[in-house]
Structure 1
């Protein structure tokens, strides 16, 4: 696929801020060559996977699909790719998930139709297309070429790149297409239900945004957000030296009902006012947060650190606690620990008993750099909330 229009289209895709994960099966293989051979591919492609065998597809989907080449399978692949892109992308970058499954010409004549199903998923919309080829009109390589061109056009559309598309489809090969848009409430409902893993509100000003892939995350309920939170993240960012500072709220709580869409939106407004990025996730547990945000630095208080290493919160099983936190360590995550009141006594990291195997992932924030004695609970009480 060396056509000039294809190269120009891919260059435009690579110049856009969108980062993508692609899951392709049964065709459109030439699109990967086009994306990867044009300089700038690392700006766009986070990961490309070809689950070609039956078992590979079953493992990707986590089930045996009703049909391996179908609209439903392509949509499920695109949603998985979108969630994967969220986890791998730079903070605040728009992300795209692409799912493609085809049943194209092969060495043996097919009884069924030659067709492909393509789905693209972004934060606020999902697009789906099915193209049925005229049987016998093209070789396998030619069908792959046409499906690859169609896929590149779909990626360009998702990246808001104007596409000059030289279609090789015949007049009778009319794509069956549909598009579904999601408003903010629907996106948050999808998050609460577990359909998407998190949603980023990139409110940070330009000066706060780092090119680093590492996120510096301060988790909490932020009910309300106060100056202590802002100061703590600022100090933690200086200690890290490099990274994208952001706050994180879990819409799902381990021992409380999930936040409502209205509650989430109210809390998000606090961060918009101060120009700070906030991530809404659906994971209250740190070992799951580590999977969602690999390589991140989590900013926590000594009270949270004490709970993390307390076997009491792991059913009294010390080995289970070690195993879970070593799993966090394997994701490349670390914990920056600020001093907090623990059972009425101000404590810092050095006051805690951290297992030897975990000491390298806990980093102290010196009390002289930051000390927060007030909590959101106390702020609510003072405001009569």
Structure 2
């Protein structure tokens, strides 16, 4: 990365030092979060960061060195290489550090064959470190905003296994048959859609979920379902995390989503936010839901003409359920 302005834009700040271990780690983290946003749910991704000082004209005063980082969901690979100054020209140093990048990618992907590096014995040093993050550490990073989401899935999706994410957001306390059937119905309306449950650890009007709560709820999704835990409670932020996705909501959520009350009592602002969501390639499938003892469907929701095309009803013939997590929790308390 040769542009300092580009680095500042990527990191969102001026780095203390451009060529150092900390900056390489930060670049890898930004790349990892971006890869998460662009990938399909369940896909394993990595972010690679590289920063270095190599041979140049005029010659540099200090050591020639580079730092490479690779960030994944559960770990961080770090490689620090100090080069023998004057031993290679710029092409030679470019080639060696490029080999180190390929080696990093190979190790992250778990390839069997190692990538050899032609180092000058006794002079050039490569330091390798791997940090492994526990599930609890990953969740702490999510709650702190360091990472934008965590994938919980024992199924890996290939880049060609679907064309669009179909996302059902909820608290899943508990996950029940109504959730499963709703997502199935939604996917039937989006050919090639990849089903994905989304749990936000941060709530708009409630305290954040604790680590224990997140673990308990995520454990419900271990049998082939894809769950993504995020830190974004609002749909305009979810759309940034899941561009080109269809969000599955109940009529109650659709009513709130289009209520100017939640946008400073401004219909203009509400439409602006919804158009921003549409610009990210997102839309909504709306299921019928009981609201204040009355069953509501999309026809009961006042949808502005500017965003009518963003909302499609899930026919009652495909899905209708009176199950609710609140009722199930109440029943569990009575039985317990």
Which TM-score bucket, shorter chain as reference? over 0.9
Gaps of 5+ in 2: none
The answer as to 2:288 corresponding to 1:339 is yes
Q: Per-residue deviation at 1:368?
A: 2.3
Q: Are 1:353 and 2:313 counterparts?
A: no
Hey, which bits of structure 1, 4+ residues long, moved more than 4 A?
none
Per the alignment, do residues 254 and 178 of structure 1 end up closer, same or farther by CA in structure 2, a change over 3 Å counting?
same
After TM superposition, give the deviation of residue 372 of structure 1 in Å.
2.3
CA distance in 2 between counterparts of 1:239 and 1:188 reads 33
The alignment partner of 2:110 has SS state of coil
Q: Secondary structure at the match of 1:175?
A: strand
Residue 113 of structure 1 and its aligned partner are, at CA, apart by: 1.3
**TM-score (norm. length: structure 1):** 0.83
Alignment partner, residue 60 of structure 2: 110
The answer (yes or no) to whether the contact 2:41–2:228 under 8 Å persists in 1 is no
**Alignment pair present for 1:260 and 2:207:** no
1:180 aligns with 2:131: yes
Deviation at 1:111, TM superposition (A): 1.1
Q: Secondary structure at the match of 1:267?
A: helix
Distance 1:105 1:204 in 2: 45
Partner of 1:319: 268
CA contact (8 A) 1:210 1:242 kept: no
Q: 1:234 to 1:181 in 2, by over 3 A?
A: same
Query: 2:300 aligned with 1:373, yes or no?
Result: no
Tell me the equivalent position of 2:150: 199
The Cα of 1:210 is off from its aligned counterpart by 7.1
Mapped to 1, the partners of 2:35 and 2:155 lie a distance apart of: 21
Query: In 2, distance between residues paired with 1:345 and 1:291?
Result: 33
Distance 1:311 1:237 in 2: 30
> What TM-score do the two structures reach when normalised by structure 2?
0.95
Q: Which residue of 2 aligns with 1:153?
A: 103
Distance in 2 (alpha carbons) for counterparts of 1:306 and 1:293: 22
Does the CA-based 8 Å contact 1:310-1:321 persist in structure 2? yes
Partner of 1:272: 222
Alignment of 1:290-305 (within 5 A): 290-305=239-254
Which residue among 246, 257, 269 is the counterpart of 2:196?
Answer: 246
Residue 140 (str. 1) matches residue 90 (str. 2) = yes
Aligned length: 333
What is the aligned partner in structure 2 of residue 6 from structure 1? none
State the distance in 2 between where 1:257 and 1:163 align.
48
Q: Give yes or no for contact 2:169–2:198 (8 Å, CA) kept in 1.
A: yes
